[in-house]
A = this chain, B = another copy of it.
Amino acid sequence: MGVSEVPKVFTPQTPIWCPGCGDFGVLAALKKALNDLKIPPHETILVGGIGCSGHIHNDLLVYGYHSLHGRLLPTAIGIKLANPRLTVIAAGGDGDGYAIGGNHFLHALRRNPSIVYLVMNNGTYGLTKGQPSPTAQIGFEGTKEIPFEPILTALSIRSTTFVARGFSGNQVQLQFLIKEAIQHANAGKGFAFLDVLSPCVTYNDTYAEWRKSTVDMNADKSFDPTNRALVFERVLNTLQEGKIPTGLLYKGESPSFESMQLKDPASPIATQDLTPAGKIEEFKKLIARYR
């Protein structure tokens, strides 16, 4: 920012969340991580979804974009490809990401673009007043559907490289995970997917329940986050025991989307000089086959 006293650009907003909302914890951990990692704010873009959670981009001094409901991932991918130098963080709700946005989730996992995807998972549609989301437990608001488990689905895509789960009630772990995620993405290693249990105190207050049921898988030294099949099994078993696995659950290697798609990732599309003057000869080559 400039040196002027009056801010030259927008001043971050106070969050719109209900007092006690889990999203405050996510925001706090994200701020801490960005600070600790000294990510230049002006090279960071936070893409929000639509939902209570999706307002997070208003509350930080980085570039902010409020996407369409469920469409934060394609937007973030477009940004990353246009300028791979940016730190691109997509953050939204579980309704946004796993209901209406489910297809983009699948294909982002598959393509492995180097962006961070934070899902503030509260098992409900907060902003539309508490309907069940795909991760809602059976019985919540009368839902009769088996909850979606994004961790398992992320593991089922063979090109995933970073799969993790945090809990907004566990700041130490969450900060660690967010930092890991940002570093993973910023090293160009691919898609850093981080599902964060973030209770909706108004419609689905799961704080107490989640405090009890979360288990840090990384606490068990025998847990090997690089063996996909084994992780799948461990996660599945933990869930069957009524527990919720958290931690850095899987880390693998696969080429990033931008490295596969861009001819020269070091020279961003977005900042190219577009003036045709110097390119006329190259352009003319395009014509040749039509003569």
A: residues with CB less than 8 A from B are 99-103, 106-107, 110-112, 134, 144-146, 148-149, 152-153, 155-159, 228-230, 232-233, 236-237, 239, 254-255, 257, 260-261
**SS class of chain A's interface: helix, strand, loop or mixed?**
helix
Does B158 contact A156, Cβ atoms closer than 8 Å?
no
Contact A159 B146 (CB under 8 A): yes
Can you list 27 A-B pairs with a CB-CB distance of less than 8 A?
A100-B103, A101-B103, A102-B106, A106-B106, A106-B148, A110-B134, A110-B145, A110-B146, A111-B146, A112-B146, A144-B255, A144-B260, A145-B260, A146-B158, A146-B159, A148-B157, A149-B156, A152-B156, A152-B157, A152-B158, A155-B156, A156-B156, A158-B239, A229-B229, A229-B237, A230-B233, A233-B233
- Decide: A145 near B111, CB < 8 A? Known: A153-B153, A157-B152: yes
Closest to A254 in B: B146
Give, as a whole number of angstroms, the nearest-CB distance from A252 to chain B. 11
Nearest-Cβ distance from residue A230 to partner chain B, whole angstroms: 8
The smallest C-beta distance from A97 to any residue of chain B, in angstroms, reads 11
- The distance from the CB of A245 to the nearest CB of chain B, in whole angstroms, is 13
